[in-house]
Amino acid sequence: MQKDLPPHILDLYEREAMSKSSPRAFRTNIINQLFTKLPNGRYRLDVDKPMFKEAKEMFERRYGSEKEKGYPRTVKKGLYFQNSDQAFEHALQEGEIYKIERNGKVFYAFQSVEAGTVRLEKNS
């Protein structure tokens, strides 16, 4: 069934459990909260509980965020293309950079992905 679970729940079960004093008890708690018993005796997967919403938020913060950064044409060329018109135009044609307008000014932007880990302090 693991292949059907969202990545943030798998991360909670596999990685986060190892940081607990009792990984087995934590995993048991995850499994118990993951399912809701229906009146007919069957179980339904319930990923909307607060524990899983928080896990999703932390997972998304830890595993990446997209950013868009734009510069004026000459600044962009100088910073990223060693002032080469040919390299700049090639990147523009390939869609690696694109033109945007903000407040009547033209900028050239690209998307980047930044990944890292957010650590929350535990209250004593």
Question: pLDDT digits over 61-90, tens only?
Answer: 766 555 667 899 999 999 999 999 999 999
- pLDDT at residue 115 is higher than 70: no
Question: Quick one: angle between helices 85-94 and 73-80, nearest 10?
Answer: 100
Residue 119 included in any domain: no
Q: Are residues 8 and 59 in the same domain?
A: yes
- Stretch 6-20: mean pLDDT: 85
Is 55 exposed, middle or buried, given 0-12, 13-18 or 19+ CB atoms closer than 10 A?
Answer: buried
Q: Are residues 13 and 50 in the same domain?
A: yes
Beta strands in 48-104 (DSSP E): 65-71, 98-102
- Please tell me the pTM assigned to this model: 0.47
Q: Are residues 59 and 69 in the same domain?
A: no
**Count of domains forming the chain:** 2
Residue 70 included in any domain: yes
Question: pLDDT digits over 34-70, tens only?
Answer: 888 899 999 888 888 888 888 888 777 766 555 667 8
Three-state DSSP class for residue 37: strand
Q: Are residues 77 and 91 in the same domain?
A: yes
Of 22, 46, 63, the position where a domain reaches its end is 63
Could you tell me the residue range of the domain that residue 52 belongs to?
Answer: 2-63
Q: Are residues 13 and 25 in the same domain?
A: yes
Residue 11 included in any domain: yes
Residue 121 to residues 26, 44, 63, 117, 118, Cα–Cα distance (Å): 19, 34, 18, 13, 10
| Closest CA relative to residue 55, chosen from 4, 2, 12, 6 | 12
69 pairs with which residues across the strands?
A: 110
